[in-house]
Structure 1
Amino acid sequence: MDNNKSTRLANKLFPVKEEYEIDILDIPADKRKLNTETYDFTVSTIVEYISEKHIDIPMFQRGYVWNRAQASRLIESLIIQCPIPVVYLSQNTDETLSVIDGNQRLTSISLYLNDEFPLTGLATYPELDGFRFSELDPRFQRHIRNRTIRCIVILKDTHPQIKFDVFERLNTGSVKLNPQELRHGIYNGPLIETIEELSNNSQFKKATSTTNDKRMKGEEMILRFFALHDDWQNYQKPMTTYLNNYAENNRFFDHENLNRLSRTFKSNFNKCIELYGEYTFKTFDEKRKRLKSNTALFDAQMISMSIINPPIGRLEEIDKNRVIARLSELMNDEDFYGSLTKGTTDRNTVHKRINEYTDFLRNILS
């Protein structure tokens, strides 16, 4: 009995889901230290810093979610001098600060002091229900402005991997933020904004099965392409850290570099669509059914296309039925298929599938 055939079928019907990696700290022991400073900022200072962009409040996947009653209770806590939980900030290379934990609290305070909502649902001082900040007695205003909030700042000389690890440990929401959602906040800037814009393309969403993408899967795929396209030969696992490093190092890419990256992505994506059609980035069975978007295959098809860089006219001339027939043979190769479904972020596996797919594409074009 052919057990391998059974295994291949099981792999296709019941694929192993790619789990988020646990990043083993592969950095020198002397660099694993968390470097912090503690500040007691007044509410007035915090609001000023937010207004001047010295404190950046990243908009994560769920953004600002507190309702007015929750925000009002926080303001009431300031009035009655109830202790406010510590806020964690990350110091950026340009000396600005990004909020790691405390987004809802700081946003609520900033909104209220800017007269964005009236107080509601107060328990201790219901007499203040309906009052905006500017309508409060000046003594209340001064009292709120002078309250202090303890802020722990993770300094910029802390290793990026340590910073990300701390962020994950502080990520205590009811729905945990995944790595790309964390990056969207920690490394927010021109690079992330460009990736977000590219991910909203309807053809890309269809090809990657991210039409209803609520967890930024499409954005992470584009980030993977950027990072691997830049230097896939020197890729080292874990993938999470590899992408973190790329996002941090290129967070403030200039306009020229961002345009270059966008053109490169769009060009290679369009070439893949031209060559593979509906099978782009998809695994499928012998009958060319059960099409399923696969991130590892996305890597292989996009990077191999950028390596060979054929003119679009050459791809238009190729018999597409022959291409898909050859691709079907490749999918039935147990060794190659395994590189798409098992240990997909291991260094050797990443190199194997890119090299093998580049050879496959080169043969198709010969």
Structure 2
Amino acid sequence: MDNNKSTRLANKLFPVKEEYEIDILDIPAEKRKLNTETYDFTVSTIVEYISEKHIDIPMFQRGYVWNRAQASRLIESLIIQCPIPVVYLSQNPDETLSVIDGNQRLTSISLFLNDEFPLTGLATYPELDGFKFSELDPRFQRHIRNRTIRCIVILKDTHPQIKFDVFERLNTGSVKLNPQELRHGIYNGPLIEIIEELSNISQFKKATSTTNDKRMKGEEMILRFFALYDNWQDYQKPMTTYLNNYAENNRFFDQNSLERLEEIFKVNFNKCLELYGEYTFKTFDENKKRLKSNTALFDAQMISMSNINPPMEQLEKLNKEMVLEKLTELLGNEDFYDSLTKGTTDRNTVHKRIIEYTDFLGKILN
């Protein structure tokens, strides 16, 4: 049997990714709609799908946070046939499903059916407190397995920007997920994984003031660098959709491309550390005080370094006091400082600070 025929057909029917322009105004009107299907999955099917990775539960910023009493009440709701809120899933290009809304519910059900915790704090059936799933009477087990949960699946042919908009609308937790936290689940894949790994470099955390980063600020900064490095000349606001575009289009980068990106980031980051030391990515006053990490300055320093690409040996020989004095002068320039603090994601502002900083760096090196 020619397995290649199957693979070629699958590649046509289930392509790994599609190229999209994210600007909502560029999306044809007929594509600005949500394409969905509704399924009533049994609990048994859901647990099986999770086990087989057909349903993926991305670890957003908060991951699994329900306590055992909350999870137990959900199981009790299944037993007494109390309606369970709708779960929203996103269909991926490979036909797998990612959870958009319902992470806590599905994780709780999966954990309980895998004997990970006993029931506790039940209100209607306190007699079942202390029982794990395998310890319940088989009739209870069958009853729970056979309960259905309504799932709305956002189909893969829905435009990714429309998907992102829907995810934001469904983002109703007590602490709202920010755009990078959403991307971490929506565009989960090799690119997001390498970004997460790079964001945990201790020197990077120190330079960007993200040592206690609980909202993925560091990850978004690295994604910004990759996106701007790719083609900052074509940057268009808003920054959120610009980064969504890059994350979507490059979600499944191959290993060689990922290794190249990792090397590019590390090389330019280490060069910035060599040149600016403790002032890397920091704004400060004329007395070298009040150091504050600045994302716009991060863009300017990293992209200008990659634009000029000086050898490390040249940077090592530079007079760092001279560099710091010149940088102090630049930050004291009101026009340039405004590009770091006002309208920082406007197209003209992004271009301005990268061009001016590249010119600044070039003069230091000559």
| Separation in 1, partners of 2:270, 2:120 | 53
| Separation in 2, partners of 1:284, 1:336 | 14
Instruction: Map 1:143-182 onto structure 2 (within 5 A).
Output: 143-182=143-182
2:42 and 2:147 in contact (8 A); partners too: yes
- Which residue in the other structure is 1:352 paired with? 352
Instruction: Check if 1:320 corresponds to 2:308.
Output: no
SS in 2 for 1:72: helix
- Which residue in the other structure is 1:25 paired with? 24
Amino acid at match of 2:291: L
- Which residue in the other structure is 2:289 paired with? 289
Q: Describe the superposition over 1:23-69 as per-residue Cα deviations: whole angstroms up to 9, x where unpaired.
A: 98333322211111111111111011100101000111111011111
| Separation in 2, partners of 1:291, 1:118 | 51
- Which residue in the other structure is 2:15 paired with? none
| Separation in 1, partners of 2:314, 2:151 | 59
Instruction: Map 1:190-201 onto structure 2 (within 5 A).
Output: 190-201=190-201
Amino acid at match of 1:35: N
Instruction: Check if 1:343 corresponds to 2:334.
Output: no
Instruction: Map 1:1-366 onto structure 2 (within 5 A).
Output: 25-26=24-25, 27-366=27-366
| Separation in 1, partners of 2:259, 2:342 | 34
TM-score by length of 1: 0.92
TM-score by length of 2: 0.92
SS in 2 for 1:100: strand
CA 1:265–1:24: 2 relative to 1, 3 Å: closer
| Separation in 2, partners of 1:201, 1:272 | 15
Q: How far has the Cα of 1:157 moved from its partner?
A: 1.1
Q: How far has the Cα of 1:132 moved from its partner?
A: 1.0
SS in 1 for 2:41: strand
Amino acid at match of 1:352: K
| Separation in 2, partners of 1:157, 1:235 | 26
Amino acid at match of 2:163: K
Q: Describe the superposition over 1:62-102 as per-residue Cα deviations: whole angstroms up to 9, x where unpaired.
A: 11011111111111111111100000001111111110000
| Separation in 2, partners of 1:196, 1:280 | 20
| Separation in 1, partners of 2:68, 2:207 | 40
Q: How far has the Cα of 1:120 moved from its partner?
A: 1.0
Q: How many residues align?
A: 344
2:88 and 2:102 in contact (8 A); partners too: yes
SS in 1 for 2:213: coil
| Separation in 1, partners of 2:348, 2:24 | 20
| Separation in 2, partners of 1:160, 1:204 | 30
| Separation in 2, partners of 1:194, 1:250 | 12
Q: How far has the Cα of 1:251 moved from its partner?
A: 1.5
SS in 2 for 1:85: coil
Q: Describe the superposition over 1:234-264 as per-residue Cα deviations: whole angstroms up to 9, x where unpaired.
A: 1111111111111122122122111111111
| Separation in 2, partners of 1:334, 1:129 | 66
| Separation in 2, partners of 1:69, 1:289 | 49
Segments of structure 2 that go 5 or more residues without pairing to the other structure are: 1-21
SS in 1 for 2:240: helix
2:73 and 2:121 in contact (8 A); partners too: yes
SS in 1 for 2:24: coil
| Separation in 2, partners of 1:248, 1:95 | 16
| Separation in 1, partners of 2:135, 2:290 | 62
| Separation in 2, partners of 1:181, 1:63 | 11
Identity rate, percent: 87
SS in 2 for 1:302: helix
Q: How far has the Cα of 1:231 moved from its partner?
A: 1.3
Amino acid at match of 2:203: Q
Amino acid at match of 1:133: F
2:23 and 2:241 in contact (8 A); partners too: no
Segments of structure 1 that go 5 or more residues without pairing to the other structure are: 1-22
| Separation in 2, partners of 1:326, 1:247 | 36
SS in 1 for 2:194: helix
| Separation in 2, partners of 1:28, 1:320 | 53
Amino acid at match of 1:99: V
- Which residue in the other structure is 1:18 paired with? none
Amino acid at match of 2:181: E
SS in 2 for 1:289: coil
| Separation in 2, partners of 1:288, 1:118 | 57
